[in-house]
């Protein structure tokens, strides 16, 4: 083994990454070559020096703070699913409500030619008649739209989140 090869293998030797045959070859070369031996000892001392640094333990309370952050995340996830469910209900109600309202509006527009509107006063009279007749579809439709809109507004209001950092 020459110095060029040995110097490339010294790191692997110190890291116990060489097979038996190669490791013995490195040992043999280092024992006989002063320059490679110096490099070997330098690297070995460096490794030892770095590995002599004490390992620090996690400070007291780290586990509890970590647990609390994860618990908070789980609660946010649960609230998020609740909000999605309510939003879905919002959309459904809004669609149904819009359907009722459009149906009522369509019937109103179809009835206009039969009302005999010759003067603006006739239009006023006709509107009063329609309103008084309490069209159920219109009431249901507007009611659903109001409820859906209210729920949507409530969902848009930001939730008050607790601070997550310890």
Contact with other proteins (CB under 8 A): which of 28, 45, 76, 107? Answer: 45
* Token pair listed for 67: 């647990």
Q: What's 115's DSSP letter?
A: G
Residue with smaller CB distance to other proteins, 74 or 150? 74
Identify whether the C-beta of residue 161 lies closer than 8 Å to the C-beta of residue 79.
no
Q: How many CB atoms lie within 10 A of CB 30?
A: 22
Residue with smaller CB distance to other proteins, 40 or 100? 40
Residue 43 interacts with other proteins (CB under 8 A): yes or no: yes
With 0-12 / 13-18 / 19 or more C-beta atoms within 10 angstroms meaning exposed / middle / buried, residue 40 is: buried
Residue 12 interacts with other proteins (CB under 8 A): yes or no: yes
Contact with other proteins (CB under 8 A): which of 69, 79, 84, 161? Answer: 69
Closest separation in Å from C-beta 6 to other proteins: 14
Identify whether the C-beta of residue 155 lies closer than 8 Å to the C-beta of residue 83.
yes
**What Rg do the C-alpha atoms of the chain give, in angstroms?**
41
CB under 8 Å to 69, separation ≥6 — which residues? 164
**How many whole angstroms separate alpha carbon 57 and alpha carbon 76?**
31
Residue 22 interacts with other proteins (CB under 8 A): yes or no: no
Residue with smaller CB distance to other proteins, 32 or 74? 74
Contact with other proteins (CB under 8 A): which of 28, 31, 32, 48? Answer: 48
Residue 57 interacts with other proteins (CB under 8 A): yes or no: yes
Residue 113 interacts with other proteins (CB under 8 A): yes or no: no
Residue 79 interacts with other proteins (CB under 8 A): yes or no: no
Residues that bind other proteins (CB under 8 A): 11-12, 15, 17, 41-43, 45-59, 62-63, 65-67, 69-70, 73-74, 165-166
């Amino acid at each position: 083994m020459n110095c060029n090869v040995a110097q490339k293998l010294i790191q692997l030797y110190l890291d116990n990454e060489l097979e038996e045959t190669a490791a013995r070859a490195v040992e043999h070369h280092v024992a006989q070559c002063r320059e490679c031996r110096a490099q070997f000892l330098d690297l070995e001392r460096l490794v030892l020096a770095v590995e002599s640094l004490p390992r620090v333990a996690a400070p007291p309370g780290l586990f509890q703070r970590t647990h609390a952050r994860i618990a908070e995340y789980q609660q946010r996830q649960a609230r998020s699913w609740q909000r999605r469910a309510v939003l879905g209900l919002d959309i459904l109600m809004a669609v149904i409500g819009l359907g009722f309202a459009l149906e009522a509006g369509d019937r109103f527009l179809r009835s206009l030619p039969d009302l005999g509107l010759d003067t603006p006063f006739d239009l006023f009279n006709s509107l009063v008649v329609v309103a008084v007749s309490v069209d159920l579809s219109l009431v249901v439709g507007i009611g659903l739209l109001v409820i859906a809109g209210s729920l949507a507004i409530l969902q848009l209001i930001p939730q008050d989140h607790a601070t997550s950092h310890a």
